[in-house]
Structure 1
Amino acid sequence: MKRNITQSHLAFALILGAVWGLGEVVLGVGLKSCARLVSGSLMTGVALFFIAAAWISTKNYFVPILVVAIACIFKLFDAILLSLPVMHGAIGNPIFAFLMEGLAFIVLILVFRHAKWSKISSRALLGGGSALIAVALFPLVKFATGVPACVYPNTMIPLSIFFGPVAIAFSAITMPLAFAFSNRIYDSIIRFNKGIRSSLLRNLVSPAALAVCLAMVFLFRMIVT
């Protein structure tokens, strides 16, 4: 397991985190207090795609941590645009979900660090297992943010638990996809950077991508709110 983050790892993490953060904001329009029924479970699969992609291409567990941190920054930026406190259910709870998803994935790859993950079945199990841990931990959000997890109408069952099978099944699909496409995405970014002769411009590509995604969040909020 690699421990040092190289410049290419950092560039990859910035772009992955920015795209994930932008996607969370766009897909979360209208979800200002909590996820609406099954949408949160589907977003678990999306989150695990980006988290897994960060590790698959770099074999460095610090890179997915960085990707999660960048996604959290996008949520905090969204809180500023919406004039919401950090501990609001639409901000604090998703951030807690990001952290639990990242934690679940990293715990599994550390526990099974000798696994090769060469089979689709093992990759699907990694995705489903990560989702299972994440959705099981999410009800603890009340102790982290003070805002309890949303429950299914007319029940006391948290949405993360009620629709847990959806999150697990969808993550079992997105995880193999992450294995299939992450190296291609990583290699494309590296080739693009190598094609830029100026080292200054090359170093600015990833921060520029991050800034563009933040600007898109700003413009998006100006349009829809």
Structure 2
Amino acid sequence: MSTKPFPKWIPQVIVLGAVWGLAEAALGLGLGKCAALASGSIMTGVALFFIAASWAVSQSAAGVALAVALVSLIKMFDALLLSLPLGGGAVANPIFAFWAEGLAFLVVFALLQQSLSAKLAGRAAGGALAGLAAVNLFPLVKFATGNPACVFPGTQIPLSLYYAPIAVALSAATAPLGLWAGARLARAAERAAALGRLTAAGRLASPAALILALLLIMFIRYIG
């Protein structure tokens, strides 16, 4: 009975997911507070970088799903360090955002023609559209988690929509950058494998990156 080979891209995606989780903890303005004005839109741009890189490395929706699953688990780990309820808006809502961003990216880039997505302008447009789709999906978080989206003070406008231009502009830059970085990472891994340089240390790089990210998050929360 034949078995499917282990996907070669999994270690690289684990590294990307670990770094993304660390970025969420380091750049986030605190799990215990509602998103501070434009912070959520900025993090949408950050998310699209790692999602795009995971796509470029794996060339599959499974790669994006793995990265999103990892950052979601790291977000929950961070919440436990802060003694926050996992179902609260400070935890469940960002996790919903991760999956919305991943879905938005996959749908937009699946619809883009190959010739368009191969060009920088096309990738930037795809990133902008993915960011726009993600921020428009986020108000649905209330139906998924039971926690309403934060609104701009004095209005009923969700922050994700109020600051949508920031998310769109950042995503137009970060998605192409992520695709470029992911492609470089994939080529480097292929060259190392072809030259027989995938040593034991290389194989341990992805779990080491994940453990290091968790330790750094613990340190951030300890000093914070």
Q: Does the TM-score normalized on the shorter chain lie above 0.5?
A: yes
| Contact persistence 1:150–1:159 (CA under 8 A) | yes
RMSD: 2.0
Q: Does residue 112 of structure 1 match 2:112? A: yes
Give the Cα–Cα distance (whole angstroms) in 2 for the partners of residues 7 and 217 of structure 1. 28
Structure 2: give runs of 5+ residues left out of the alignment: none
Provide the residue aligned with 1:79 in structure 2.
Answer: 79
Which segment is superposed worse, 182-191 or 55-64? 182-191
Give aligned-pair identity as a percent.
47
Moved more, 26-35 or 77-86: 26-35
The SS at the match of 1:64 is: helix
Partner of residue 213, structure 1: 213
Between 174-183 and 21-30, report the one with greater CA deviation: 174-183
Write the deviation string for residues 140-197 of structure 1: whole angstroms up to 9, x where unpaired: 1111111111100111100000001111111011112123322223334555675353
> Matches of 2:223 and 2:29 in 1, distance apart?
11
Instruction: Kindly indicate whether the alpha-carbon contact (under 8 Å) linking 2:81 and 2:221 is maintained by their aligned counterparts in 1.
Output: yes
Deviations 1:33-86 (A, max 9, x none): 221111110110110110011112331221011000000011010111011111
- Rounded Cα–Cα distance in structure 2 between residues aligned with 1:161 and 1:40: 10
Indicate the residue corresponding to 2:168 in structure 1: 168
Aligned length: 219
Residue 18 of structure 1 corresponds to which residue in structure 2?
18
Question: Could you tell me how far apart the structure 2 residues matched to 1:157 and 1:89 are?
Answer: 17
**What is the CA-CA distance between 1:98 and the residue it aligns to?**
0.2
Amino acid at match of 2:19: V
Measure the CA separation in 1 of the matches of 2:205 and 2:36: 36
Range that drifts further, 162-171 or 105-114: 105-114
Residue 125 of structure 2 aligns with an amino acid whose one-letter code is: L
| Deviation of 1:87 (Å) | 1.4
**Equivalent in the alignment of 2:60:** 60
Q: Note the alpha carbon deviations across 1:118-153, whole angstroms, 9 max, x for none.
A: 222111111011111110010111111111111001
CA distance in 2, matches of 1:116, 1:62: 23
| 1:130 equivalenced with 2:130 (yes/no) | yes
Contact 1:5 1:60 in 2 (8 A): no
Q: Partners in 1 of 2:18 and 2:94 — Cα distance? A: 16
Q: CA deviation at 1:115?
A: 4.7
Q: Distance in 2 between matches of 1:59 and 1:167?
A: 24
1:153 counterpart letter in structure 2: P
- Please give the residue correspondences for 1:32-47 in structure 2 after superposition, counting only pairs within 5 Å: 32-47=32-47
Q: Could you give the per-residue CA deviations for residues 92-128 of structure 1, whole angstroms, max 9, x where no partner exists? A: 1100000100011111222336455122211111101
